[in-house]
Amino acid sequence: MSKVLVVYWSGTGNTEAMANAVADGAKSAGAEVNLIDVDSTKASEIADYDAVAFGCPAMGDEVLEEASFEPYFADAEALISGKPVVLFGSWGWGEGKYLEDWKSRTEATGAKLVGAFVTQDAPDDEAVEECKKLGASLANA
C-alpha cells in the first residue's frame, strides 16, 4: 500500500474541495492518505511518503500563493526527486498559465509528474471526478 500526502492551500475553499477529491481517489485506489493544509505541516515530512499531491490556486499574476504555499513548495523541491507527484488547483482570472509554470518547475526537480489538473473557480462535478482520477493515478504510480 502506498502512502500519499495531499498538501494544499485554499483561500476560498475551491482548492480544499479539490484536495478532498484527490484524497478520496487515492484512498479508493488503496493508498493510505494524509490530507493536510500547508500551514499545518513542514516540507521535511515529505520524506515519510511514497507520493505527494500538491494543491494551490493561482494568485496575483498567476503565481503560487506567496505567504504559505510558495515557501513550502520551495523547500519541497529538494525532497521530491524521484517521487510520484500530482499538481492541482483553480484560478479565477487569467488563463491558468500558472499550472504550466508549476509543472515545468516540478519536472526540473526530477519528480515523476503523474498528472496535473486545473479548473476555473469552484470545481463542478466533472472537475471533482477528474481530481479523484488524479488521486487514483498517484496512488497507482
pLDDT tens column, 35-81: 999 999 999 999 999 999 999 998 887 889 999 999 999 999 999 99
Say what the pLDDT of residue 97 is: 81
92: confidence class by pLDDT, cuts 50, 70, 90: confident
Three-state SS at 119: strand
Contact 94, 118 (CB under 8 A): no
> Per-residue pLDDT averaged across 93-112, rounded?
88
| 89-110: average pLDDT | 87
CA 65 from chain centre, in angstroms, equals 13
**Whether residue 98 has pLDDT greater than 70:** yes
Taking 80 as the threshold, does the pLDDT of residue 21 lie above it?
A: yes
Structure confidence at residue 96 (pLDDT): 67
Q: Structurally, what CATH architecture does the domain formed by 3-139 represent?
A: 3-Layer(aba) Sandwich (3.40)
pLDDT at position 60: 80
Residue 110 has a pLDDT of 97
* CA distances from residue 129 to 20, 33, 92, 101, 104 in whole angstroms, order as listed: 11, 18, 20, 24, 25
Most confident option among 23-32, 56-65, 88-97 = 23-32
| Average pLDDT for 85-110 | 89
